[in-house]
Amino acid sequence: MRRIRFTFDEEKFVQTLALLASKGLPELTTLKVAKLLFLADKKHFTTYGRPILGDRYVGMKNGPCPSAALQVMNGTVKEDAPPVGATVRALVDKFLKVDPTQGANAVFVPRREPD
């Protein structure tokens, strides 16, 4: 049996994150983004036979989590996380800002509408 592999699309992830942020969702934290991405990918996969972002989901304490997307979000939000690439960082900075003052966790806030 041959495994099907999908490639994570960083730009599409940042655009998706910007779209979620532009919808005015309250407290859009990394946990909420992970849950929304899982549900969206599940729906898209069952409908079209392919995921939206091509990320790999891993089981974690609070449920399934997109691993590459989590690395990008942590690299953007956390000081002690490994930094993200310059291209991804520029995209994040173009479309989003991170507000560390809202609630217990940092929240993603839109800078502009996604493309």
pLDDT tens digits, residue range 96-110?
888 877 656 788 888
Supply the pTM of this predicted model: 0.85
Query: How many residues are listed for the chain in this entry?
Result: 115
Per-residue confidence (pLDDT) for residue 103, from 0 to 100: 58
- Cα dihedral value 66, 67, 70, 75, nearest 10: -160
Per-residue confidence (pLDDT) for residue 33, from 0 to 100: 94
Per-residue pLDDT reduced to its tens digit, 65-81: 999 999 998 888 877 77
Nearest to 67 by CA among 18, 108, 34, 39: 34
Residue in the structure block whose two tokens are 């998706």 = 16
Which residues of the chain are under the pLDDT cut of 70? Answer: 102-104
